[in-house]
Amino acid sequence: KVITTHIPQNLKWEKKYINKEIKNNFSYIYQAIKDRYEIVILPESTFPLPLNLYPNLIKKLQKLSKKIVIVTGALNYENKNFYNSTYVFQNGKFKIYNKHILVPFGEYIPISCCKKFLNKIFFDGAEDYIASDNFASYNIKNIKFLNAICYEATIEKLYQEKGKYIIAMSNNAWFRNSIEPTLQQLLIEYYSLKYNKYVYHSRNL
């Protein structure tokens, strides 16, 4: 089951709203289990926190993954770095797959001399995300899926990777009321047809 959510960007990262988001996420998972789906896919950063630092949430998701495979977006914090990541929970275990291609000026500042200054002005002093070295892939029920987080799903190089299926997740709320969501969808459709891929796209609109 591919989940679509509708969380405004101005609320998504608000501390007072996070508990509601988490509660909603578990509601989607419970409903997918009730409807007898084998997999549930949630959007990018749908858990708006470094999930690996919250053992109680991890344990709860691990327990549920014995009933359904859970693919969800969240932050990952390790070695003093933040990553935009996909978490895959299945059979009581989980693995983390970090984003490879980051959005310039959105997820990192490509101008080293002004990085701290620009992050302070535009991102309240937040640190840049760190990119992984390569595109990620994982197996679900012995089927290979390529991992795509937001911007990555519009990159042709991803579609040239081996594998027929792609799980994409994005938070489109930050470019709501623009042409970007339409452009994103058109590029996904174009490249999936060109390279004969199947894309399962979970979005926050």
Question: Pairing mode, if any, of strands 198-204 and 165-171?
Answer: parallel
- The reply to whether 99 belongs to the active site is yes
50 contacts 129 by C-beta, under 8 angstroms: no
CA separation for the pair 41, 46 (Å, rounded): 10
CATH topology of domain 4-145: Nitrilase/N-carbamoyl-D-aminoacid amidohydrolase (3.60.110)
Which residue among 21, 44, 107, 152 is the active-site one? 44
- The reply to whether 44 belongs to the active site is yes
* DSSP-derived 3-state class of residue 204: strand
- Does pLDDT of 122 surpass 90? no
Q: What pLDDT score does 116 carry?
A: 55
Other beta carbons within 10 Å of 9: 13
Q: What pLDDT score does 130 carry?
A: 85
Of 48 and 181, the structure prediction assigns the larger pLDDT to 48
Mean pLDDT, range 166-181, rounded to an integer: 90
Q: What pLDDT score does 120 carry?
A: 46
Which residue among 21, 99, 107, 197 is the active-site one? 99
* DSSP conformational letter for 30: H
- Range with the lowest mean pLDDT among 21-25, 47-51, 99-103, 189-193? 99-103
- The reply to whether 63 belongs to the active site is no
Beta strands in 4-121 (DSSP E): 4-5, 39-41, 47-50, 69-78, 81-90, 93-98
- Does pLDDT of 117 surpass 50? no
Mean pLDDT, range 21-29, rounded to an integer: 98
